[in-house]
Structure 1
Amino acid sequence: MTDATFDFRAALAANADARPDHPAVICGEDKLSWRQFVARAEKLAGTLADHGVKPGDSVASIALSSVDYAVLWAAVLRLRATMAPLAPSSTPDQIAAMVADSGARFVFVDAPNRAEFGAVLDGKTLVDLDRLDGFIDPTAQAPKLAPLDPQAGFNIIYSSGTTGTPKGIVQSCAMRSLHITGGRRIGYGPDCVTLCSTPLYSNTTLVSFIPTLAWGGTVVLMPKFDTAKWLRLAERHRVTHAMLVPVQYRRLLADPGFDATDLSSLQMKFCTSAPFAAELKAEVLRRMPGGLIEFFGMTEGGVGFMLVAHEHPDKLHTVGQPQPGHEVRIIDEDGNDVPPGTPGEIVGRSPATMNGYRNRPDLTAKAYWIDPTGKEWLRTGDIGRLDEDGFLTLMDRAKDMIISGGFNIYPSDIEAVLLTLPGVVEAAVVGVASEAWGETPVAFVVAREGPLGGDAEALRTAATAKLGKTQRLAALVLVDELPRSHIGKVLKRELRDSFRGTVA
């Protein structure tokens, strides 16, 4: 590796030499030792090279997690090429546009996604990821390893937009290097067994998947999250590390088999990607062994926050402090710093920042705020406030803030009140158009049976008693579940679009 950048590919080869029979990747009954994993990746890399893939090229994938999906990552990076993992939840038009944007000639797909997207990928070479032996040339030899360019693309992560074509976030080898070395400081190492239950096309997964492999541990993959299966896998494989999104924690704790499962091997649990309620953090700390770390940041990078929850039980309402080497400012609409405790937009700087949006210099430029001294700060689009200790309380996305009668209303404040009501399991608040106020808040609630659980108006009345006048709900809608993205984020645009009521 270079002085500044961790060489992921070289690390994999070293792991195969040092611990050839140690398990590298497990998915269901499929399992590869470190020797097998690296050897298969070398053959796939050689085959791709024989087909013309070279350093700097992109290779796309559309698939659920599998052992060979992990092999594909290793093979592409072995060639100093760039991975472009795409979400199968995308529309065919989005898939076609993302593949075109990535520049990938090869697209690796599993059977369901070939059937779903094959028709819109005319002109691309589709390779069946679940029948990889039919593509790999057993005589192929991987080329000599090219020099590592720290600023070369490691991967392209396409943002999960709800409309239009997602933007391609180019993360460099240097940026991933910081994730890897930072992972070592928080427990990833040769003895870790990491259970990845979110998809391999999500940055949420990659910040656990990549450090685990880099340091010679074992990755256990789940193609689809299921609480009973997660518990069985954690117990069977003596899992030490796990990255979960908040809704997964909530569902695991509610599983009837949770308390009977031996989770004593857990050393560290992580969470990111969606709001993590303080009450849920406290329950995780109480009922699940090991420490708990929450991350808050963007796939684009900039400032990242970390809450070491087991060391700061009095700060569970926050997302922690800036990570080492990261800078943060909270600014108002005019770019002025606001005092501690005052909400404002979160902007930040760090070495762990994207190269930019692929093929979109215009959007890349808009992603930054330039202060009066000329320094560039990446905009998060989030509203938050810092306390006197430097811990960040996250309010809302700026676009989700409701302006009602000239007052700023933060949906998270209302959601926190709703979650205190008997029977309320989940809540999301959005702004809808109002002739009287411009916008007004409407709540969507998942509730259990109980004194108030089945009565929307009773819940709204109970919430009104605890809310300020400007926060009062115009309507409350009971739903069976909240719409979520593949990493558990509530899709508030879908909730707004679904509202069919009338408000004053």
Structure 2
Amino acid sequence: MSNVAVPAGLPPFRAIPNLIRENAQARPGHLALRQGSERMTWQELDRAADRVAATLQRHGAQPRESIAICGANSLPYVVLFLGGLRAGLAVAPLPTGATAEQLAGMVRDSGARFFFVDADVPAFDAGVPRIRMDDAALEQWLDAEHPKPVHVHPEWAFNIIYSSGTTGTPKGIVQPHQMRWAHVARGENYGYGPDAVTMVATSLCSNTTLVSAFPCLAKGGTLVLTEGRFDPRAWLELAQDARATHAMLVPVQYQRLMAYPGFDGYDLSSFRMKFCTSAPFSAHLKAQILARWPGGLVEYYGMTEGGGTVILEAHKFPDKLHTVGKPAEGHDIRLVDEEGREVARGEVGEVVGRSGAMMAGYQNQPGKTREAEWHDAAGNRFIRTGDVGRFDEDGFLVLMDRRKDMIISGGFNVYPSDLELVLRGHPAVHEAAVVGVPSEAWGETPVAFVVPNEGAIGADELRAWVNGRVGKIQRLADLRYVAELPRSDIGKVLKRQLRDGYTPG
């Protein structure tokens, strides 16, 4: 699986493990990692990564094999990740919310030689050595210091991220070194450098985190890892104390920060750029951030699988906050219909993309890989997103919905995002998600799940309010109040759980 697109204009490939070494040589005493009271300089990080790489090699691990890691964000987690890469291995960072059965399947599928865990990972037989990374076991395992040099090739697997999105069985997304290098090269546009301080508040098992963390590390900056569950006050205090310059947060985290009563009392003037990805990001929330938080705001739209990335530099285009922006430089984004034909500007179609940041494929699933691909008339390979959208007159992409989430009611397309926008316009609504459920009369019909604000009106009254503002086909068949919406580790609403758990009545 070496079909990796490399667009013109991308700087010559540099392997991230080599950049880590260069940073340690240039700034040995500079702070590389920080979490709580723990600190690690670049020299210490480089030596620690060497120990991991050398020990893996001593135990017979060969380039292009893999290791798996599962646990909360920690300094040892970062060290193991970098050490694996230095030995030429791919790293499979596994989701902490998975069951023992799911984790066992991922470890097997990844082909991992070792499985590194913390105390919270459930016990099961992984079929490979299982090593605790949060106690003395890791130090005992590390029994070598000087690894053999490995020449990393751009098409080699960098990591295998297991992501089922919001549906299905997890698939191993193989991201090559070339893809990660493309992210580093893009990061030069956003102020990453030796003086950058990047906040890490999402899991290291997520591509959302890695697209921000690795550009910072590659440029010799400092990663600040938060501890425990996301807490707005703790995050703000840490960002202020660390003089943070960059942060990647998901929309629900931004929402909680903007709602925190003491937000405006913190000094966040050190921020250069804030990033957001992974879930719908409302125009209203973007506008709040721009008005109250120093520094730029960038929204990335894309997939863990890669393909094309669309970027909205919200601080430059405040009149386009309802969009996800324009294709990144060198990224080819097109829209296709159900038959795979390109649609005209202004028409709705599925988003497909091609760039230098593309997965090699799904681990051990060539059929799924083929399903995720679209080829143009010239045979160029694109990645299908499953999202439906259109380009406006200025070339900005307006997303409608996930194709699989689109509701077909009475033969008409109903976009849940349109209904969710109406719902959010009522003061009783804190959060909302709309899904399609089976209907004998219509095939499918919309149902809303709402997290209410304090003092909310009755569910039937709110449903009537919505139905009075939408078309006949769009009317809600039901509306349920819920305490919270089910979400993935990075904040995506798990609509499949809402659909599967719904019973009429």
The Cα of 1:340 is off from its aligned counterpart by 2.5
Aligned residues: 495
Q: Distance in 1 between matches of 2:152 and 2:53?
A: 16
Distance 1:458 1:137, change over 3 A: closer
Give the aligned partner of residue 332 of structure 1: 337
Question: RCO greater where, 1 or 2, for CA within 8 Å and sep 6 or more?
Answer: 2
After TM superposition, the structure 1 stretch with the greater mean CA deviation from structure 2, 87-96 or 212-221, is: 87-96
SS in 2 for 1:470: helix
Instruction: Identify which of 267, 285, 292 aligns with 1:280.
Output: 285
CA deviation vs aligned residue, 1:227-261 (integer Å, no higher than 9, x gap) = 12111110110111000000000001112221221
Which residue pairs with 1:405 in the alignment? 410
1:127 maps to 131
Find the aligned partners of 2:136 and 2:401 in 1 and give their Cα distance: 44
Q: Which stretch shifts more, 220-229 or 13-22? A: 220-229
Q: For residue 458 of structure 2, what is the amino acid of its counterpart?
A: D
1:201 aligns with 2:209: no
Query: Aligned in 2, Cα 1:182/1:354: closer, same or farther, shift over 3 Å?
Result: same
Instruction: Give the share of equivalent positions with the same residue, in percent.
Output: 54
Task: Tell me which of 420, 425, 435 is aligned to 1:420.
Answer: 425
Q: Please, which runs of 5 or more residues in structure 2 have no aligned partner?
A: 1-9
**Retained in 1: the 8 A contact 2:15–2:154?**
no
Structure 1 SS opposite 2:308? strand
Structure 2 match to 1:300: 305
Q: How far apart are the structure 2 equivalents of 1:53 and 1:268?
A: 39
Aligned to 1:458: 461
Q: Residue 398 of structure 2 corresponds to which residue in structure 1?
A: 393
Distance in 1 (alpha carbons) for counterparts of 2:275 and 2:58: 40
Asked if the contact 2:131/2:137 (under 8 Å) is kept, the reply is: no
Q: Does 1:341 align with 2:352?
A: no
Matched residue, 1:99: 107
1:427 counterpart SS class: strand
Distance 1:3 1:230, change over 3 A: closer
Q: Which residue of structure 1 lines up, in the alignment, with residue 185 of structure 2?
A: 181
Q: 197-206 or 457-466, which moves further after superposition?
A: 457-466
Letter in 2 for 1:468: G
- 1:442 and 1:473 in contact (8 A); partners too: yes
Matched residues in 2 for 1:449 and 1:3: separation? 53
Q: Deviations over 1:330-357 (max 9, x none)?
A: 1111222223232211111112111111
Task: Please give the secondary structure, in 1, of the residue aligned with 2:420.
Answer: helix
Q: Please state if 1:25 is matched with 2:28.
A: no
For 2:169, the equivalent position in structure 1 comes to 165
The structural deviation recorded for 1:138 is 6.6
Query: Given that residues 43 and 136 in structure 1 are in contact (C-alpha distance below 8 angstroms), is that contact kept between their aligned partners in structure 2?
Result: no
Please give the TM-score of this superposition, normalised by the length of structure 1: 0.95
Deviates more, 1:128-137 or 1:265-274: 128-137
Unaligned runs of 5+ in 1: none
Instruction: Name which of 249, 252, 258 aligns with 1:244.
Output: 249
Residues 141-172 of structure 1 show CA distances to partners (whole Å, capped at 9, x for unaligned) of 33231112110011111113566531111111
Over 3 Å counting, the alpha-carbon distance change for 1:138 and 1:80 in structure 2 is closer
- What does residue 501 of structure 1 align with? 504
Partner of 1:34: 42
Out of 450, 473, 479, the position equivalent to 2:482 is 479
The aligned residue for residue 73 of structure 1 is 81
Residue 5 of structure 2 is matched in structure 1 by: none
SS of the residue aligned with 1:135?
A: helix
Structure 2 length-normalised TM: 0.95
Alpha-carbon distance, 1:84 to partner: 0.5
| Aligned residues of 1:94 and 1:164 also touching (Cα < 8 A) | no
Judged with a 3 Å threshold, the aligned counterparts in structure 2 of structure 1 residues 216 and 396 are, in CA distance, closer, same or farther, namely same
State how far apart, in whole Å, the 1-side matches of 2:137 and 2:495 are: 43
For 2:183, what is the secondary structure of its paired residue?
helix
1:470 match: 473
- Counterpart position of 2:4: none
Query: Match for 2:403: what amino acid?
Result: A
Please give the alpha-carbon distance, in whole angstroms, between the structure 1 residues aligned to 2:381 and 2:49. 39
Is the Cα–Cα contact under 8 Å of residues 127 and 135 in structure 1 kept in the other structure? no
**1:303 counterpart SS class:** coil
Whether 1:220 aligns to 2:224 is yes
Q: How far does residue 68 in structure 1 lie from its aligned partner after superposition? A: 0.9
